[in-house]
Amino acid sequence: MPPAAALLPWRRLVVPLLAVVSVPFVLPLALPFLLRSSSSRQPLSAARPLYAPGTCPYVDEAYACASNGRPDAAYTRWRWAPRRCRLPRFNATDFLATLRGKRLMLVGDSMNRNQFESLLCILREAIPDKTRMFETHGYRISKGRGYFVFKFVDYDCTVEFVRSHFLVREGVRYNRQKNSNPILQIDRIDKSASRWRKVDVLVFNTGHWWTHGKTARGINYYKEGDMLYPQFDSTEAYRRALKTWARWIDKNMDPAKSVVFYRGYSTAHFRGGEWDSGGSCSGETEPTLRGAVIGSYPRKMRVVEEVIGRMRFPVRLLNVTKLTNFRKDGHPSVYGKAAAGKKVSRRKQDCSHWCLPGVPDAWNELIYASLVLEPKPRSWKHH
């Protein structure tokens, strides 16, 4: 671990939260620190992956690109390297020591499960006896199951995943013919919230599902109180849902006991369509090294910054939008597998999720950096 003095550049970069939308990468913390890369130098560097492709048993088949026949390997070796601050070198043993006696939980959609699997794999590298790490219910990671608890025996800590597509409550309504239709109750917290309480480190996300089908159209789908809206804008629904989540965090979480992260929008790279209309990203083998610019900053990320900026609880925002924008090479594309174990059709490629090893490893490196560099909750015993 570098001495504290060597990390001072990180602490000197302070900007207002809502002024960060045009820079390549942002990590607003309890005080909003800025990680930015110079436009004249590329913000990626080559490095070994934190775990070798095909060696981690916790990677979903959908993200195991090398095992599914992807012939190139450069996508596993890129590391995020901001130019105007210095990240501590990742140390999985130190990460586990920081988590000793604690619970870390990722809550969200399949993008957070992507990150959860990455975290299990990088922490597994620090465990000499792999039998000292296991899923407490004996579950194998699968797309169909929404709750996992992995125990690290030697550190008396757990790393957990709770599926919650929207962070607010999904439900159903019945029409006169007694047919059921899904609804989203944007003023009620998700039922899984009972699991979030008393967790030491929480990592939330939602966003991936807000662009799909009924959620995007907003017809007879969004509900507040007793009101089912005939038509409602999905971005405004997203704002109200996040406010519901924010109120729950402010009311139920104590910054003297817990750290809460919110991971922002992860860039997709579909060409010629979307996930369900023939969009593709196959054949991409290199990131965009220079001048990667998002044409318009995602509206939902502005909503995220607005909501978090008004919270009492000091949520640490992992804004990975620009970071992921460089990585058009990192998606499974045709090298994933469907739920039935069949190879993905070229007509329906995955250009949203990420191969593992790959991009989500960088997100976990940033969580580690935040836990190492930022003041810890008062109730934590310092190791």
pLDDT digits (tens, 9 = 90+) for 265-294: 999 998 876 666 668 899 999 998 765 555
Q: Give residue 244's identity as a one-letter amino acid code.
A: T
What is the structure's pLDDT at 41?
42
Pairing of β 201-204 and β 26-28:
unpaired
Contact predicate 372/383, CB 8 Å: no
Minimal CA–CA distance to 353: which of 327, 315, 372, 381?
327
* Token pair recorded at residue 43: 């913000």
In whole angstroms, what separates CA 91 from the centre of its chain?
20
Query: In which element (H, E) is residue 96 found?
Result: helix 92-98
What is the structure's pLDDT at 279?
82
Asked whether residue 22 is assigned to any structural domain, the reply reads: no
Asked whether residue 20 is assigned to any structural domain, the reply reads: no
Pairing of β 44-46 and β 316-318:
unpaired
Asked whether residue 18 is assigned to any structural domain, the reply reads: no
Asked whether residue 238 is assigned to any structural domain, the reply reads: yes
Neighbouring C-beta atoms of residue 140, cutoff 10 Å: 9
Distance CA 58, CA 118 (A): 8
265: helix, coil or strand?
coil
Contact predicate 86/80, CB 8 Å: no
* Token pair recorded at residue 203: 């990592």
Torsions phi, psi for 104 (to 5 deg)? -115, 130
Q: What is the DSSP string of 307-365?
A: HHHT-SS--EEEB-HHHHHT-TT-S-BTSSB-TTSPBPPTTS-B-SS--SSSHHHHHHH
Domain that includes residue 249, residue range = 28-373
Give long-range contacts, CB 8 A cutoff, 24+ apart: 168-173. 168/241, 168/244, 168/245, 171/223, 173/220, 173/223, 173/228
Q: Give residue 204's identity as a one-letter amino acid code.
A: F
Asked whether residue 75 is assigned to any structural domain, the reply reads: yes
Pairing of β 316-318 and β 259-263:
parallel
Query: In which element (H, E) is residue 222 found?
Result: strand 222-224
Minimal CA–CA distance to 202: which of 104, 67, 58?
104
Give the pTM.
0.87
Lookup result for tokens 């599926």: 163
Q: Is 277 one of the annotated active-site residues of the chain?
A: no
- Residue of 109, 190, 350, 361 marked active site: 350
Distance CA 113, CA 139 (A): 15
Beta partners for residue 301, in sequence order: none
Pairing of β 180-189 and β 168-174:
antiparallel
- Residue of 165, 190, 353, 370 marked active site: 353
Contact predicate 224/184, CB 8 Å: no
Distance CA 369, CA 180 (A): 46
In whole angstroms, what separates CA 203 from the centre of its chain?
7
Q: What is the pLDDT along the chain (383 residues), one digit of tens a residue?
A: 433 333 333 332 222 222 222 233 333 333 233 333 223 344 666 778 999 999 999 999 999 999 999 999 999 998 887 767 778 889 999 999 999 999 999 999 999 999 999 999 999 999 999 999 999 999 998 888 999 999 999 999 999 999 999 999 999 998 888 889 999 999 999 999 999 999 999 999 999 899 878 899 999 999 999 999 999 999 999 999 999 999 999 999 999 999 999 999 999 998 876 666 668 899 999 998 765 555 667 899 999 999 999 999 999 999 998 889 889 999 999 998 754 445 555 667 999 999 999 999 999 999 999 999 888 999 997 54
1-41: per-residue pLDDT in tens?
A: 433 333 333 332 222 222 222 233 333 333 233 333 223 34
What does the radius of gyration of the chain's CA atoms come to, in whole angstroms? 20
For residue 281, what is the domain's CATH number?
A: 3.40.50.1110
What is the structure's pLDDT at 234?
96
Asked whether residue 7 is assigned to any structural domain, the reply reads: no
What is the structure's pLDDT at 142?
86
Q: Is 353 one of the annotated active-site residues of the chain?
A: yes
Q: Which residues of 215-232 are buried (b: 16+ CB within 10 A; e: fewer)?
A: beebebbbbbeeeebeeb
Asked whether residue 100 is assigned to any structural domain, the reply reads: yes
Asked whether residue 5 is assigned to any structural domain, the reply reads: no
Number of domains in the chain: 1
Distance CA 50, CA 118 (A): 10
Name the DSSP letter for residue 153: G
Contact predicate 99/380, CB 8 Å: no
Query: In which element (H, E) is residue 53 found?
Result: none
- Residue of 110, 164, 266, 370 marked active site: 110
Please enumerate in sequence order all residues whose Cβ is within 8 A of that of 122, keeping only pairs 6 or more positions apart, or say none.
50, 51, 90, 92, 95, 361, 364
Q: Is 208 one of the annotated active-site residues of the chain?
A: no
Beta partners for residue 44, in sequence order: 80
What is the structure's pLDDT at 313?
98
